[in-house]
Chains A and B, each alone.
Chain A
Amino acid sequence: MSSAAEDRQIRASARNAWALSAPALFLLLIGACGPLLIVVVYSFLTKGATGGVKWEFSTDAWVSLLYTRDIFDDTLKLADAHLTIFWRSLKISILTTLITFAVGFPTAWFIATRPAKARAFWLFLITIPFWTNLLIRTFAITEVIRAEGLMNTALMGLGLISEPIRMMNTDTAVLIGMAYVYLPLMVLPLFAAIDRFDMRLLEAGYDLYASRMQVLRRVILPIVKPGIIAGSILVFVPSLGAYVTPRILGGGKNMMIGNFIELQFGQGRNWPLGASLSVALLLLVMVALLFYVRVAGKGSNPHG
């Protein structure tokens, strides 16, 4: 039961809220969200001869995402080069997520089970790389894995290998680099989930004669699942759109979607294709995020 005066107050409060948010929304509209719509428009235009676009409607950019047109008989064939890049992006992103989880989970568990003071210290050690420039961290890992780098010097010094392992400009190098730079994104949400975990449940498990493996699989993992999903999304989504790390470690050949998009706006001179690739990447990320919202929503049921 609300009186007219109360109604007026609620409306005034909402108006006030919108007015306060307006500057932020305006900045975001012209500096972030709005231009995304232009990309959608560009993906349906014809490419200009020297970059840019001609304002003629065309679905060529979308067709050429997956198909190439045969120059002789005009038939459509699957574009192998594009599929290879999509597949590499997906493969590297999934592997990055798996690797960061495999090493990030024990790390997060280790941090969360330290005494309070030490915990703050270990957590700080994870936070520093988290906030450190991605470019710097990519440089750092490059100096370790390159042919004349620390890893080869150390391995050859120990006599384990006689020839340096040449890893730069391969998918393996990109994968190692991505796992290295995105690891903190996995550890932090995992830590947050484990930190809330009630350790008495472990006692209960062991009292009921569960083995360590059983406790891990049946008690710990199901309860910290929201943290696992959050960490996986935080790693998977930026991996899919990665640009800097594959550019430095993959060289020109081992492109991921992000580098392929840039190529279209540079030497490729195919802006519509670049735009359709961007929209496709955005849609992929949205699917991943929706999946996250659905699973995370379910995970918050009391039954977990």
Chain B
Amino acid sequence: MITVGIAYVILGAMLVFYVGILTYGFITLGLGEILPLYLGVIIALITFMFTVFRAGSDLFSTRRYEMLAPLPVPSSAIVISRFLTVYITDLIISLVSTVTVMVVCAFTLSLSPVFYILMFLGAWILPLLPMTASMIVGTGIYAVTARMKRKNIMQIIFSLTFFVLYFSFLQSMDGETEEIINGLAGMMDSLKRLYPPAAWFSDGVNGNIGAYLLFVGISFAMFFAFAFAVGRYYKQICTGLTASGGKRNYIMREQKKSSAFSACFFRERKRYFSSSVYVMNTAIGYIMTVFLVAMLSFSESAVLFEQLPSAFTSKLAPFILAFMCNMSPSTSSAFSMEGKHFWLTQTLPVRVRDLVNAKIAVSLMIAVPSVLISSSVLAFVIRPAGLDIFWLFFVPVIYAVFGAVFGLFVNMKMPMMHWDHEAQPVKQGKAVLVMMLCGFASACIPVFPLFIFSGIAAHILMALICAVLCLLIFLIYRKLCALRLTALAED
């Protein structure tokens, strides 16, 4: 509990720090006017990304529906309870960000009390619109794919396509750098085009009550319209989405024999790709890495990157990849994801080593190709020389292995075996949170000493970092292989 508490505090502190620094930076540059607009856009983007991939499956969870449907509770109450659960998570982010902006403003600017009152009230309303939009998109993906033959794979493909389109859109907005460089007016125009409701919120807190009322009205109207529509047709939608029947036409044919490891790997792979929530949350780091690196090489930013000193980029690049790939390995929730099926793993005469290897292999199956693609693309952009080429490939791969092994270790220490919905172990598991922080720290800490050294000393240090990681991987792996399966689901 203490570890998780600390992890949440650190994440909260990171958000406060990020928002605080940005706010202070804008005020120092004389761009304080942009703050409400910027806040509105940031909260909308975070809320949207946090909600979109879980919305459909969370809202129309079969298990919850079957549990609640026979109870004398109106459908609207079930829908509202689901909405509130999602809203509370989004609200926390909104409140923390808004209050941080307000505190920095209070210390640095002299603004009317009305500004603070409207900002605080707005924090409660800001998540509503992006949350509704993400629920519409999430439900849409869920509904389109629900009746497909391979619905889980299709959900993943649809979600990934949406994700790429979403970031391409953001990237295209970001492309208008000249406007941003031109100053406040250009920057505000760019943000207003990106998310108009943030502009209404911004105008509102700056005194335009009409714009504020428009922001509040549209947010509530969209939210309640969607809630009403879902509430009205909830039973029909759930029944339509969840009704599933097999073909019942199997004919016995010859079967293949595999080793225990292959069997475990097959099962792990099936488990992984059966859950779009699991894939989207654990593969996101790798997908973002490949996507950003590809964007970098084909956009104007590549020119900027090429202009940076090669010694600087060569040292930094492997650790940027390492950081991206270490955020959320599938192993950090691999034991937890077994959930109610874990009795099977426990009762089978299979070596823990085979189980561990299978879980690590699934993680590496995603991590290693994306690392190699990203490293190859980066190698063309930053053109490292000599040994730096080797480090660009080797360091991220070592980190990918470390992430997979350490993730499983953290999950072994903090399993979440009892859950109602897959999003719980994948998104809210203590192990996932701790892994995220440790992955961040493990990729960032070695960067600092690297900038002190140069030439051959830097290469020796790089080799030393890799050696330490290899040693850690070996020790943690040994610990994993000595795991007692009974200890994971104790009591």
Is A bound to B? Answer: no
Chain A residues with CB under 8 Å of chain B are none
Chain B residues with CB under 8 Å of chain A are none
